[in-house]
């Protein structure tokens, strides 16, 4: 990447699990490229994607020798949490250092690596503290997916189904046709599959750099999904699981409104199940979920906005979501 030519030092930021697996390989290759390389790890898990962890990373970043300066680059090595957290550190260290995303999960490959969103969670909700900070580059290595735990691998597939539903019916066919090979992590099918997903994400994001219009479509499955994550606690549900539930609930709501044929909703639900993603969950409190949705940072003036599918491959944004409709959709998740 041309804009990284003057880099003299690199700081790799990864959670403790990824640091143990790939930390040395990353710093060794950076050293071999002539940079002073350091590694900072932080506790693994979305529950550590907080301002407290950012503070701890800053303490270590400012103690690195040679000292970090404006020619230092941050490498975010790992999944979505590492990208969000290390990206936010890069956005705010010395008022902005350049950074490179090195995703090691499906979710980070297809989702977090595009768009420049960085940030951390707050008790009041997900990603409430953050900044837009585009990475100078993304280094994707399909090989790192081989060691990804099964549940993390499946977790990332939820965003892939999302991409198909919001933009590309033929991608849904592709996933249905190749679900077995994808789940077996065959390298050639994964390369094609991830590339198709990154292309959709990048097209949506570049059409709309500041999220005023089209980019909102990426929130399909995320409005109720985020609320479920906040409700049950980030430590107790994976992001992809919450999105899978959020898409199922959104589909239910869309069918109830007469927007979407129930056959399409069933087809998406069947595919999510084949991919090992949840479409039902006990113990969800619809009233609490509604309250959390009203506090979502995408809510404007307390009004809830949702992205609903009108057919596979096409969605629209609705501002007139009622508490009753959300209650019905959440109730359907425990049927």
In the range 52-71, which residues lie near a second copy by CB under 8 A? 52, 54-55, 58-59, 62-63, 66-67, 69-71
Options 16, 199, 203, 299; binder of a second copy; rule CB under 8 A: 299
Residues 195, 200, 204: CA angle, nearest 5 degrees:
145
Window of 21-29, 102-110, 247-255, 297-305 that interacts with a second copy by CB under 8 A: 297-305
Rounded Cα–Cα distance for residues 271 and 2 (Å): 42
Report the nearest approach of a second copy to the CB of residue 87 (Å).
11
> Catalytic: 49?
no
Report the nearest approach of a second copy to the CB of residue 11 (Å).
14
Rg (CA), the chain: 20
Indicate the SS3 state at residue 59: helix
Interface map 83-102 toward a second copy (x if CB under 8 A): -----x--xxxxxx------
Residues 334, 228, 144: CA angle, nearest 5 degrees:
110
Are 79 and 108 in contact by the 8 Å Cβ rule? The answer is: yes
Token code pair at residue 283: 């113990």
Tell how far CA 191 is from the center of its chain: 19
Report the nearest approach of a second copy to the CB of residue 22 (Å).
27
Q: What are phi and psi of 99, to 5 degrees?
A: -150, 155
Are 265 and 183 in contact by the 8 Å Cβ rule? The answer is: no
Options 128, 139, 203, 310; binder of a second copy; rule CB under 8 A: 128
Neighbours of 2 (CB within 10 A): 6
> Catalytic: 209?
no
Size of the site for a second copy (CB under 8 A): 41
Report the nearest approach of a second copy to the CB of residue 100 (Å).
19
Instruction: Catalogue the active-site residues.
Output: 95, 117, 159, 201, 211, 215, 219, 222, 226, 239
Interface with a second copy (CB under 8 A): 8, 51-52, 54-55, 58-59, 62-63, 66-67, 69-71, 88, 91-96, 117, 119, 122-125, 127-132, 294-295, 297-302
């Amino acid at each position: 990447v041309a804009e990284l030519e003057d880099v003299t030092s690199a700081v790799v930021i990864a959670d403790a699990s990824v640091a143990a697996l790939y930390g040395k390989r990353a710093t060794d290759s950076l050293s071999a490229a002539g940079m002073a390389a350091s590694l900072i790890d932080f506790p693994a898990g979305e529950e550590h994607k907080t301002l407290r962890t950012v503070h701890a990373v800053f303490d270590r970043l400012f103690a690195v020798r040679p000292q970090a300066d404006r020619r230092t680059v941050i490498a975010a090595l790992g999944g979505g949490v590492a990208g969000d957290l290390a990206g936010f550190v890069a956005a705010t260290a010395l008022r902005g250092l350049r950074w490179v995303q090195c995703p090691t999960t499906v979710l980070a490959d297809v989702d977090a690596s595009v768009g420049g969103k960085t940030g951390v969670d707050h008790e009041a909700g997900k990603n409430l503290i953050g900044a837009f900070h585009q990475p100078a580059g993304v280094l994707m290595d399909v090989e790192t997916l081989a060691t990804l735990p099964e549940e993390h691998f499946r977790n990332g597939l939820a965003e892939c189904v999302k991409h198909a539903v919001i933009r590309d019916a033929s991608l849904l066919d592709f996933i249905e046709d190749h679900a077995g090979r994808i789940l077996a992590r065959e390298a050639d099918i994964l390369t094609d599959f991830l590339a198709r997903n990154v292309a959709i994400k990048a097209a949506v994001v570049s059409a709309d750099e500041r999220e005023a219009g089209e980019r909102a479509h990426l929130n399909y499955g995320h409005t109720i999904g985020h609320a479920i994550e906040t409700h049950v606690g980030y430590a107790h549900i994976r992001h992809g699981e919450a999105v899978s539930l959020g898409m199922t609930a959104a589909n239910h709501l869309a069918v109830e409104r007469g927007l979407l044929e129930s056959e399409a909703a069933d087809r998406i639900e069947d595919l999510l199940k084949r991919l090992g993603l949840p479409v039902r969950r006990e113990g969800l409190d619809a009233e609490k979920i509604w309250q959390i949705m009203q506090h979502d940072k995408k809510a404007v003036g307390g009004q809830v906005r949702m992205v609903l599918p009108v057919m596979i491959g096409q969605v629209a944004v609705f501002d007139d979501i009622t508490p009753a409709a959300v209650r019905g959709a959440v109730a359907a998740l425990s049927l």
